[in-house]
Amino acid sequence: MLFIRLFILLVPLSSLAKLPEMQTKQALNNIRFLSNDGKYTYFQQNGKLFLSTNYSSSTLKEGEDSTSYLIFGTPTRKTLIVEKEEDFQRNLSPIKTTSLYSIKYGGDKLEKVAEGLFLSLNLEDTWLTYLDPRTKMIKARSLNSKQPEISVQLKNKINPFFRPQAIMPTKDTLFYTDINSKGSMALLMYSFFDKKFTTVYKSRFTGMNLKFCIQDDNIYLGEFSFAEADHGSSIFKIPLYSNKDFNTITQIYSSQLNDIGNIVCSKENLYFVKTLDENKSLNTKKTEVAKIELKENKLSILTDLRYVTNIINMDGTILVPFREKYFVAEGKSRLNDDKLIKDN
């Protein structure tokens, strides 16, 4: 495997500009999906899911008060996937499933498509991948045809709460993460055509966490160490095509500290949660959102919040949740202006 190392610039904290807070017409804790132009707002109140648009609202789904919803979309903006979880934060079983529904982007008619845990929406919103936690299988299903469902069995027998990543860049291939019997995580490719498995990248140590995204014919793979393993962090760029056996891999970032990770890709940037300071004796760390500009491989720190844990891509808007607030790392921050939702 060919490794290429690149050096990237770390911007000092003194150059930070404060990120704007997300402003919406709906209470932030109720919002489940907000279009990047503010026109469509899907929100939850108690166990009910609603759509608000053009000064009107409609009810999409009703459930018990303990029901919770998550909504997922892609830049294609043709279809959304709604994940309905009953007994939210009451039933914590590792084999618990959710109900998955498809819905037209901006629409209010739900169609049930599967029982499982959402993984990804692919190929211009025509294919769904999800996890069946009872059988530990990743399943790929066409949303537009009666093509037979495809299943891939996970090898993981160590972590019952492990939720893999899975992405289909083509109709014939599935990229996904798995854990072997020794506790090492790997990124694998499964070919639907010849039913062949290929190891794209295998973690160098046990106790490492792999996260990846695919952007512009490249895989961006982060290898992040849990504190107990203490092996630091790396991010790699792996070409999808003309890369036999995935032997060419470029390291675009490395750190001796144990980053949280949680990689999110946009068209031009890669975001992740970076550790800036770590006290192993007290088990504390300072974590912030970092951005790598993919064209220039330039790294900068975007926040000064001291303890960031997650990043969200909501319809192209990159959000940083922090306590009761959401900060905008990329996209529009003000979506509470009535002019944004008026008919043209």
Which has the closest alpha carbon to 116: 90, 140, 102, 96?
Answer: 96
Q: Model confidence over 241-262: pLDDT tens digits? A: 999 999 999 999 999 999 999 9
Close Cβ partners of 115 (under 8 Å, ≥ 6 residues apart): 97, 98, 99, 100, 132
Close Cβ partners of 231 (under 8 Å, ≥ 6 residues apart): 204, 205, 207, 208, 225, 258
In percent, the amount of the chain with pLDDT more than 70 equals 92
- pLDDT greater than 70 at residue 173: yes
- pLDDT greater than 80 at residue 12: no
Dist. CA 81–CA 101, nearest whole Å? 6
Q: Model confidence over 57-77: pLDDT tens digits? A: 899 999 999 999 999 999 999
Q: Model confidence over 34-57: pLDDT tens digits? A: 998 889 999 999 999 999 997 788
Mean pLDDT of the 83-108 span:
95
Contact 221, 187 (CB under 8 A): yes
Enter the DSSP assignment of 12: P
Number of domains within the chain: 1
Which has the closest alpha carbon to 71: 84, 60, 82, 59?
Answer: 82
Contact 71, 60 (CB under 8 A): no
User: In which domain, by residue range, is 259 found?
Assistant: 2-341
Q: Model confidence over 260-284: pLDDT tens digits? A: 999 999 999 999 999 999 888 787 8
3-state helix, strand, coil in the chain (%, to 5): 5, 55, 45
CATH number at residue 124: 2.130.10.10
Dist. CA 262–CA 210, nearest whole Å? 9
- pLDDT greater than 90 at residue 103: yes
18: pLDDT confidence band, cut at 50, 70 and 90? confident
Q: Model confidence over 179-200: pLDDT tens digits? A: 999 999 999 999 999 999 999 9
Cα end-to-end distance, the chain, whole Å: 54
Dist. CA 336–CA 22, nearest whole Å? 9
Mean pLDDT estimate for the chain: 90
Dist. CA 237–CA 221, nearest whole Å? 6
To which residue do tokens 């090898």 refer? 155
